[in-house]
Amino acid sequence: MRHRLFIPAATALLFALAACTQDELAGDNRLSEGEYPVVIRATGLSVEATPQAAPSTRATVDGDWQGVQTVALKMGDAVKEYTVTPNSADNTKATLSRENDPYYWTSRDPITVSAWWPFNKADITQMPAVKVAEDQSKLADFQNSDFISAENRKVEFNNPTLEFTHRTARVTIELKPGTGFTSVAGATVSLVSLSADNGNPTAIKTYNASGNTYEALTAPQTVAAGKPFVKVELGGGTFYFRPQNNVVLEAGSRYKYTVKVNTTGLTLEGCTIGEWFDGGGESGEAEDLGYSIQDDGSYMVYNADGLLAWNKAAQKDESINCTLTADIDLTGKEWTQVGTWPPGYSGIFNGQGHRITGLNFSAATTELFGLLNERGVIKNLQLIDVNLYGSSGHAAGIVEENNGQIIACSVTGKISAYGRTSSIADLNYGSITACWFNGTLEEYESGAIVRHNYAYITSCYWGGNAGQGVFSNLGGKVDATKVDGATVKWQAAVDGMNTALTNNDYQWALGTGGLPVLKRNNNNP
């Protein structure tokens, strides 16, 4: 899309001077000094319009000069502010003029002109860098993110035209419901992984132009292949499109994506660029990352891919927090133990009462975590129907060595090893509170909760074949009880664990399968 500005000569017509044409002004190239001010008649702005609820406040994306009051106009070394007067019958046309101290035609020779809008009134001489709004969800903020200019254009006296172009790139996204969705109404669409150059936002919330169509303006830049680019939040899930090739967002180009939202991700039905300049594009499959990253760097995880992504990040930074927002199925996935020796994992892993299923593998170390740092916390997590074999001599479910806090966690299933087994921790130097196990342990040096305890085990319970809750207590304090189904039942375990969880955000309740499940603590929302 281009803005075309036409510059006639004799604007004495507009200022009640003699009615004559440019050819009649003088008999040669020279023009009388100070008699023929430069006046610009702007037109040619008709383009595909963005649906909007109210009149435009900026002459930008859709070529409407309504609301634009002035532009900066440069001739030689001078820059002057010119007034914009839109055509009352057609807002795509306007007249640009200056009543006091305008530029003047001095001859019929071509002149070189630059112009831009918006501009900084504090320093009109400098064309401002493109800086768009982070939140363009409101029409005015979307429109106010556009920048137009005409740079070093030669203007002929007898054909005085000046062409403006956009300094921004325009991205249009049309959503369609796919598998698992009957509607995409209420979606939130953003562009992410953007450049922060010149103070621009790294993510932009788009404007809902109409129906399921969303728009945003960006500074020119390149989004690297493989990076998340289009983000869609819908139905409690977050979906991303990762381009297979670099996305080059060029000034004056419009990029249009048609995106089908499926419960498993996004499918791009087509990717075209239109109306502005045609700069190419890409089609492809969009991916549900399974997580979102908060301002503090913590991960909110809702599927297996998201948990594995956090795992990969935690291998490099063992302080990254992780919160589950849904049950996770790791069937067929390869798990790498989190927490090295030392310093170990020092973040907070909060299951929020959710379950991890499908943890089924043989390895030297089978635990979710290796070393839990004294600052580390694992809480409100259930491992369901694990099948683990430790080939290095020992196996556990939650952590190999605990120096921090393990609160309200459980393990069910089968744990075996070449040697020693336990469910919650192999070694405990920290605290384990209100946890339980039910299943089968290989009985050699087995402890249902912990194998070797050096610190605190409080209100923990176990069922299954294990003969003792702790194989060896080496100076610690142990409160662990076997649920035998006769003298001690799982309801008694629920009551006992909840006594220790008064201030926790989750508590245990007896589930329909007869085993405890985690529920939100209404007294500690």
Give which of 430, 220, 420 is closest to 346, Cα–Cα.
430
Fill in the DSSP letter of residue 128.
Answer: P
The neighbour count for residue 249, using CB atoms within 10 Å, is: 23
CB atoms closer than 10 angstroms to residue 278: 11
- pLDDT for the residue numbered 276: 52
pLDDT for 206 equals 97
The pair of three-digit structure tokens given for residue 29, joined into one six-digit string: 């190239």
- What CA–CA distance (Å, rounded) separates 124 from 73? 9
Pairing between β-strand 148-155 and β-strand 111-117 as defined by DSSP bridges? antiparallel
| DSSP string across 11-47 | GGGTTT-----GGGS-SSSB--TTSSB--EEEE----
Q: What b/e string do you get for 315-334 counting C-beta neighbours within 10 Å, with b at 16 or more? A: eeebebbbbbbbebbbeebe
CA distances from 501 to 335, 460, 461, 497 (A): 30, 11, 14, 6
The pair of structure tokens assigned to 233 is: 């939040």
Helices (H) and strands (E) in the chain, counts: 3, 43
pLDDT given for residue 30 in this prediction: 74
Q: Residue 150: helix, strand or coil by DSSP? A: strand
Residue of 178, 186, 148 lying closest to 164 (CA atoms): 148
CA distance 281 to 226: 15
**Collapsing DSSP states into helix, strand and coil, what is residue 370?**
strand
- Six token digits for residue 154: 């030669």
107 vs 143: CA distance, rounded Å: 38
Alpha helices of 91-168 — where are they, by DSSP H?
A: 139-143
* The pLDDT value given to residue 166: 86
What integer pLDDT is reported at residue 268 of this predicted model? 55
The ranges of the chain with pLDDT < 70 are 1-28, 36-37, 39-67, 92, 94, 159-161, 264-287, 523-525
- Predicted local distance difference test score (pLDDT) of residue 377: 97
Sign of CA dihedral 394, 399, 403, 407: negative
Distance CA 280, CA 3 (A): 22
Q: What is the DSSP string of 34-80?
A: TSSB--EEEE----PPPP-SS--SSSSTT---TT--EEEEEETTEEE
Q: What is the dihedral of CA 283, 289, 294, 300, to 10 degrees?
A: 160
Amino acid at 375: R
Domains belonging to the chain, first-starting first, are 2-130+139-166 (no CATH), 169-287 (2.60.40.2630), 298-520 (2.160.20)
Task: Give me the pLDDT at residue 285, please.
Answer: 47
Tokens (6 digits) for 390: 């430790």
Q: Ramachandran region of residue 40, left (φ > 0), alpha (ψ -120 to 50) or beta? A: beta
pLDDT of residue 180: 80
Q: How far is CA 369 from CA 121, 125, 402, in A?
A: 59, 60, 9
Contact 470, 478 (CB under 8 A): yes
Q: Measured between alpha carbons, how far is 320 from 188 in angstroms, rounded to an integer? A: 26
What gap in Å lies between CA 10 and CA 292, rounded to an integer?
61
Closest CA to 274 of 188, 171, 372: 171
